[in-house]
Amino acid sequence: MLSLVQPPDLFAPVESGVYRSTAVVEPHSIPFLLTLNLRTVLLLTPELPSRPLISLIDETGIRLNHIGNRPASSVSANSRSIESQSQSMSSWKHLSDEIVKEGIEFVMNASNHPCLVMCSSGIHETGAFIGCLRKLLGWNFNSIVVEYRCFAGSKSRYLIQQFIELFDTDLITLPQNSQTLPFWFKDYLRTLEEDDNEREQSSITV
């Protein structure tokens, strides 16, 4: 009897070579993760991944970038974080502009792909992070919110949407070597350049 290959909860592709899911991975999801040939895991929350995922990382040489375990002292005093916006959000740990910036810069280096972005819930930190990435990719805010709510459902938080809306993409430092950028971001930059050229040509002909 064939066994089904089952992805982790809240698993989905984000862009080519970038995936998302909860960090609570059950043993039955390991065969699925093996098919992704992951190079890195980006963990946004302080908690360690589940034991089956840790075993997978150890056995396959996947590189774990655990940016969610940064101590509070590593975040500048003027850092904007969801935790500081609302102490009552007990399900939140700490997600700051600095953590999102570091994570996006990690994802924007194609040498880290395939990459799996995770948090303990698979909803909150990951949703905020992906929303900020979408903002960098030029998505309009309504589309970003729709995607966030699709994963969060009844657990969606207004403050997370606000965090995404206020995130400054100018904080992101892209690799100096454009060859390391993901092809899908190069395509986006090319589209922006073509749009600028069209507007310039239109202004000349008017």
Residue 179 lies in a domain: no
Looking at every residue in the chain, the average pLDDT score rounds to 87
Q: Is 56 exposed, middle or buried (0-12, 13-18, 19+ CB in 10 A)?
A: buried
In this predicted structure, the answer to whether residue 90 has a pLDDT above a threshold of 50 is no
Residue 190 lies in a domain: no
**Could you tell me the pLDDT band of residue 73, with boundaries at 50, 70 and 90?**
very low
Residue 182 lies in a domain: no
Residue 20 lies in a domain: yes
Residue 63, token pair as written in the block: 């590189």
Catalytic residues: 119
**Could you tell me the pLDDT band of residue 88, with boundaries at 50, 70 and 90?**
very low
Q: How many domains does the chain have?
A: 1
Q: Which domain holds residue 22?
A: 12-174
Residue 87 backbone dihedrals phi, psi, to 5 degrees:
-70, -15
Residue 40: CATH number of its domain: 3.90.190.10
Residue 169 lies in a domain: yes
Residue 184 lies in a domain: no
pLDDT in tens, 133-173: 999 999 999 999 999 999 999 999 999 999 999 999 999 99
Only one residue has tokens 């970003």, namely 144
The model's pTM: 0.86
**Could you tell me the pLDDT band of residue 94, with boundaries at 50, 70 and 90?**
low
pLDDT score at 76 = 44
Residue 195 lies in a domain: no
